[in-house]
Amino acid sequence: MVRRVAMFLLLALVGCRPATSELADISDVSSVFDETAGRWVDLTHSFSASSIYWPTDTLGFVLQELAYGPTDGGWFYSSYRYSAAEHGGTHLDAPIHFAEGRRTTDEIPLSALIGPAVVVDVSDRAHPDYLVSVADLEAWEAAHGPMPSGGILLLRTGWGARYGDRASYLGTDLTGPDAVPELHFPGLDPEAAQWLVDNRDIVALGLDTPSLDYGQSADFRAHVILNSDNVAGIENVANLDQLPASGSFVVALPMKIEGGSGGPLRIVAFVPGI
- 126/272 Cα distance (integer angstroms): 28
In a domain, 30, yes or no: no
State the pLDDT confidence band at 228, using cuts at 50, 70 and 90. very high
pLDDT in tens, 13-66: 444 444 444 544 556 678 888 878 899 999 999 999 999 999 999 999 999 999
Res 23: pLDDT: 43
pLDDT in tens, 117-134: 999 999 999 999 999 999
Share of the chain above pLDDT 70, in %: 89
pLDDT in tens, 193-204: 999 999 999 999
97 a catalytic residue? yes
In a domain, 102, yes or no: yes
Whole-model pTM over 0.75 = yes
In a domain, 24, yes or no: no
Share of the chain above pLDDT 90, in %: 85
Res 132: pLDDT: 98
pLDDT in tens, 80-94: 999 999 999 999 999
**Torsions phi, psi for 102 (to 5 deg):** -85, 180
In a domain, 212, yes or no: yes
Q: Which of 97, 127, 144, 184 is catalytic?
A: 97
In a domain, 18, yes or no: no
Return mean pLDDT, the chain.
Answer: 92
Residue 166 has pLDDT above 60, yes or no: yes
CATH number, domain with residue 213: 3.50.30.50
Res 14: pLDDT: 42
In a domain, 68, yes or no: no
In a domain, 222, yes or no: yes
Containing structural domain, residue 153 = 37-57+86-272
In a domain, 17, yes or no: no
**pLDDT mean over 179-185:** 98
If one counts the domains in the chain, the total is 1
